[in-house]
Amino acid sequence: MYNAFLRKLGIVDQATEAFNTAIFDKVDPCPGARTCIQRLSVLTLGTAHVLTVMQNIKQVYATAQAAAAQAIVNISEDPASIATNDYCIIKLADGTYQMNMVASVSTLAITFTDVFSAIVEKNAPIWFFGVVGDSHPQYVLTANAENEFASDYGYFVAPNKYEPLILSVNNVTAASIIQGGVVAYVNS
């Protein structure tokens, strides 16, 4: 049966890090659909933490192909004062999306901290998120608890179609676990 509202379903992968190391977990986009996290579970251990839902600040495009195993790409425009340590998600030629962090900027040539796991094609979309403190929505997570977020209409929603999200937990003092979640890709 065809559903005019729902394009497809996806998941938020489990993610954890040692305490005092922030967790960053990407939620891939879907062409032609809005990314809506309907359910998310975060287990906090020991202390209260902060969940940040990083939304795309600016989408730009690669102006030339970048080879796999390299870390530099040229972009079409400055996405609002890009700087070292800004987070990005890049569409790769194999159809996957890679989260990466800016290591340095030279005009419109961006060097990332990690090499690309596949080719970045010319005109591939690159989404810039900035850093955690860049006015992204934040939620205080209760200590020693399973923090649940749920809404059939999408608890965390990308502002526009074909935009990924990044989830970050500050993970201070004691470790946390993003236990997973459900993503609906909708046609609205």
Asked whether residue 149 is assigned to any structural domain, the reply reads: yes
pLDDT at 35: 96
| Among 107, 130, 153, residue at a domain's last position | 130
Same domain, yes or no: 95 and 109? yes
Among the listed residues 63, 65, 47, 43, the one whose alpha carbon sits nearest the alpha carbon of residue 179? 43
Burial of 137 (0-12, 13-18, 19+ CB in 10 A): exposed
- In three-state form (DSSP H/G/I as H, E/B as E, the rest C), the secondary structure along 158-181 is EEEECCCEEEEECCCCCCEEEEEE
Same domain, yes or no: 49 and 64? no
Asked whether residue 79 is assigned to any structural domain, the reply reads: yes
For 183, the token pair is 């993503």
- CATH number of the domain at 92, please: 2.40.30
Same domain, yes or no: 165 and 180? yes
Residues pairing with 39 in the sheet: 150, 182
Asked whether residue 25 is assigned to any structural domain, the reply reads: yes
Asked whether residue 92 is assigned to any structural domain, the reply reads: yes
Asked whether residue 1 is assigned to any structural domain, the reply reads: no
Quote the pTM value.
0.93
Asked whether residue 114 is assigned to any structural domain, the reply reads: yes
pLDDT at 64: 97
For 62, the token pair is 């690669």
| Among 106, 130, 154, residue at a domain's last position | 130
Same domain, yes or no: 65 and 47? no
List the beta strands (DSSP E) in the chain.
Answer: 6-12, 15-16, 23-27, 34-44, 49-55, 58-61, 72-74, 87-91, 97-106, 109-112, 125-130, 138-141, 145-150, 156-161, 165-169, 176-186
Domain containing 173: what range?
6-53+137-186
| Among 90, 110, 130, residue at a domain's last position | 130
Same domain, yes or no: 89 and 149? no
Asked whether residue 46 is assigned to any structural domain, the reply reads: yes
Same domain, yes or no: 170 and 157? yes
DSSP state of 129: E
pLDDT at 3: 58
What residue ranges of the chain have pLDDT lower than 70? 1-4
DSSP string computed for 67-97: -TT--EEEBSS--SS--TT-EEEEE-TTS-E
Number of domains in the chain: 2
- CATH number of the domain at 158, please: 2.60.120
Asked whether residue 81 is assigned to any structural domain, the reply reads: yes
Predicted confidence (pLDDT) per residue in 84-110, tens digit: 999 999 999 999 999 999 999 998 999
pLDDT at 32: 93
Same domain, yes or no: 91 and 124? yes
